[in-house]
A and B are shown apart, each in its own frame.
Chain A
Amino acid sequence: DVKVTQSSRYLVKRTGEKVFLECVQDMDHENMFWYRQDPGLGLRLIYFSYDVKMKEKGDIPEGYSVSREKKERFSLILESASTNQTSMYLCATRASNTEAFFGQGTRLTVV
């Protein structure tokens, strides 16, 4: 069975903190994605990775960075959290030309 696991379901952080969101997949998929989802704005792509150590910016990369040191793990880093980064963060994985599978989501609140 397909499994995409995000490290936290709920997270509360303070403004200015460095925040790490972790995503692990067990499907050996090449592609991994980080999205954020906000009411009325849908799913917006932050970054994606198509191979180990490879990454591409999505539509809203500002304020975020990513790391993919191993094929199964893709990390999203908020260098200095701000209140406008309060959101639901979704990790997804995908083999080429197939559907995407999602983790359970991390609801991040920055206070």
Chain B
Amino acid sequence: QKEVEQNSGPLSVPEGAIASLNCTYSDRGSQSFFWYRQYSGKSPELIMSIYSNGDKEDGRFTAQLNKASQYVSLLIRDSQPSDSATYLCAVPPLGNFNKFYFGSGTKLNVKP
């Protein structure tokens, strides 16, 4: 089992819709969770971090964490074509939090 799993997509949504991206992780003790956005040919950039169960909102982005079910999701409201990118979930394991495992990423296409 991979440490962090994501649906590779592509996920296609129309402009203005809500895009929902999901990630599951294997280490039940993980304490911090990160979402990165990566445009084609560029390096990943952090868009959200979450540490506690529940929701965390930042502009059009909402991260949701459910530790009991071991999943973390990212909602993008009012999706824009500029949101088209690959979204990576990252979860450092509790046993070795110096490591930093990434999911394989979900490719999002927002159609005008």
Contacts and interface: CB of A to CB of B under 8 A. Distances in A.
A100 B92 CA distance: 10
B70 interface: no
A96 B99 CA distance: 10
- Chain B interface main SS type: loop
A34 B92 CA distance: 15
B57 to A, nearest CB: 18
B43 to A, nearest CB: 4
Interface in B69-106: 88, 90, 92, 97-105
B89 to A, nearest CB: 10
A3 to B, nearest CB: 13
Interface residues of B, number: 22
B73 to A, nearest CB: 18
A38 to B, nearest CB: 10
Contacts of B46: 99-101
A45 B101 contact: yes
Nearest to A30: B98
A97 B32 CA distance: 7
A102 B43 CA distance: 6
B16 interface: no
Interface of A: 31, 33, 35, 40-43, 45, 48, 50, 56, 58, 90, 92, 94, 96-105
